[in-house]
């Protein structure tokens, strides 16, 4: 099911039912044409709008993972090496993670 509608976002809940359509904001910026073409080729997407939608979807997921205290990793199967995605924006998002009592509150001792 396509979650994008008319250059805006319609969110889809877990059951696949469409939720209320969000307000739309038009965003304009300049991107190097060769970079966008190469990215579109890698993603098999020819429209800049589709590439940006894909990028925003990924950024939404990544930032949500960071807020929940999870790391984004890339694994090289051949060398068994792992690489962590490090971005200042994700560090700031991670700082907004809700505090959980089991992980953040030191144990007290009876006196």
Q: How far is CA 57 from CA 26, 53, 78, 81, in A?
A: 16, 6, 29, 26
What is the reported pTM? 0.64
Q: How far apart are CA 60 and CA 64, in angstroms?
A: 6
Q: Are 34 and 42 in contact (CB under 8 A)?
A: no
Q: What confidence tens digit (pLDDT) does each residue in 51-107 have? A: 999 999 999 999 988 998 889 999 998 998 999 999 999 998 888 776 654 444 445
Predicted confidence at residue 111, as pLDDT, reads: 46
Phi, psi of 83 (to 5 degrees): -125, 130
Comparing 47 with 14, the larger pLDDT belongs to: 47
User: Binning pLDDT at 50, 70 and 90, where does residue 29 land?
Assistant: confident
Q: Is residue 56 part of a domain?
A: yes
Q: Is residue 21 part of a domain?
A: no
Q: Is residue 55 part of a domain?
A: yes
* Number of domains observed in the structure of the chain: 1
Q: Is residue 14 part of a domain?
A: no
Q: Is residue 84 part of a domain?
A: yes
Domain encompassing residue 84? 30-98
pLDDT at residue 7 is higher than 60: no
pLDDT at residue 43 is higher than 50: yes
Q: Output the DSSP codes for 39-69.
A: HHHHHT---HHHHHHHHHHHHHHHHHHHHTT
Q: Is residue 85 part of a domain?
A: yes
Comparing 39 with 69, the larger pLDDT belongs to: 39
Predicted confidence at residue 110, as pLDDT, reads: 52
Q: How far apart are CA 18 and CA 29, in angstroms?
A: 29
Burial of 60 per CB tally in 10 Å (0-12, 13-18, 19+):
exposed
Q: Is residue 81 part of a domain?
A: yes
Direct distance between the N- and C-terminal alpha carbons of the chain, in angstroms, rounded to an integer: 59
Q: Is residue 106 part of a domain?
A: no
């Amino acid at each position: 099911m396509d979650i994008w509608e008319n250059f805006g976002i319609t969110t889809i809940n877990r059951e696949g039912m469409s939720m209320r359509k969000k307000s739309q904001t038009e965003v304009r910026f300049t991107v190097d044409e060769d970079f966008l073409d190469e990215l579109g080729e890698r993603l098999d997407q020819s429209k800049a709008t589709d590439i940006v939608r894909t990028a925003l979807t990924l950024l939404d997921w990544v930032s949500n993972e960071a807020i929940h205290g999870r790391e984004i990793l890339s694994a090289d199967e051949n060398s068994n090496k792992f690489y962590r995605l490090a971005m200042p924006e994700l560090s700031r998002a991670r700082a907004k993670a809700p505090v959980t009592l089991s992980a953040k509150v030191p144990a007290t001792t009876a006196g």
